[in-house]
Amino acid sequence: MPAVDYKEDFLMQDLKNLDHAADYLTAAIEEGEDVFLLAMRDVVEAQGGIGELAKSTRLNRENLYDMLSDKGNPRLSSITSILDRLGFEVKFSAKLQSTKAA
């Protein structure tokens, strides 16, 4: 039986669907910044890759690679530009809390 590459065979296909990609990014941001940047990189790859994103956002290709890397430290304006190009919007909701903060 041939080996199955989960990322190529399943994840990339799922992330072509914007609803699946939105759920993936939402779950990733809840895990932290590093996980979110990795998830954004996966979504960018599934949606056409860094080269296509660089053209459509007018952001430098090398800068995109850097900002989405493990050591990346992107500006909020860059993140929102990428998300906008990919077809996403950022929404906030209150966390469910058992007690209010002081």
Domain extents in the chain: 6-86
What contacts 85, CB < 8 A, 6 or more positions away?
A: 53, 56, 57
State the pTM of this model: 0.80
Q: What is the pLDDT of residue 86?
A: 92
Per-residue model confidence as pLDDT tens for the chain (102 residues): 777 777 777 999 999 999 999 999 999 998 988 899 999 999 999 999 999 999 988 888 998 988 888 788 888 888 988 999 999 988 877 777 765 555
pLDDT at residue 20, rounded to an integer: 93
What is the pLDDT at residue 98? Answer: 62
Closest CA to 69 of 38, 96, 32: 38
- Residue 40 vs residues 27, 94, 95: alpha-carbon distances, Å: 11, 23, 23
For residue 78, the model assigns a pLDDT of 87
